[in-house]
Amino acid sequence: MLVLNKKDILKLFDLLNAELLKEKTKSELHIVGGAVMCLVLDARASTMDVDGLFKPAAIVRKLAKKVSAEFGADENWLNDAVKGFFSPTGDFNNYLQLSNLTIYTATPEYLLAMKCLAMRIGAEFHDINDIRYLLRYLNIETYQQACDVIAKYYPLERFPQKTLYALEEIIEEDFTDCY
């Protein structure tokens, strides 16, 4: 699987926009996850894919697959597998406006809440490091501050207790020296 850096992702967006133009179709992408960490926050150099919601889904999915072959990217470089994690109160910023493609990116607060909800553990996942980065970026130093941000987007009851314990441990490890 090809790893995508910021330049690659922007090129894929340009290619997708060109295909949408040919189809005389306008589209919106609401991007979350590692792509936002890479594109907006410069928190990491690359990501495996671009997670988000897109409209019209069937057309964008078809054109993204076509673009992947042209670029040499994985055919699922753009996917909506994360749609079950979207919150009705999620916040997005306008990131990029192309002729037929508008791209919105999750705000850092919303991304923190999503990363905490997903909190996958393993070498192939970046959730823990992303959470650490976002906590610092947002100047969150206490567990209560983190819970307050998360609660703006999801009921805390939705989080497994082990996730909340892990979040508390991350904050204790990272901010113990601050006091």
Q: Where are the domains of the chain?
A: 4-106, 110-178
- Give the confidence band of 99 by pLDDT, cuts at 50, 70, 90: very high
What confidence tens digit (pLDDT) does each residue in 26-48 have?
999 999 999 999 999 999 999 99
Residue 124 has pLDDT above 60, yes or no: no
H or E segment at 39? helix 34-39
Q: Which helix (H) or strand (E) holds 140?
A: none
Q: What is the mean pLDDT of residues 50-76?
A: 96
Rounded to two decimals, the pTM is 0.91
Residue 128 has pLDDT above 90, yes or no: no
Residue 69 pLDDT grade (very low, low, confident, very high; cuts 50, 70, 90):
very high
Give dist(CA 108, CA 154) in Å, integer: 15
**Mean pLDDT on 125-133:** 85
Q: Which DSSP symbol is given to 41? A: S
Q: How far apart are CA 85 and CA 59, in angstroms?
A: 22
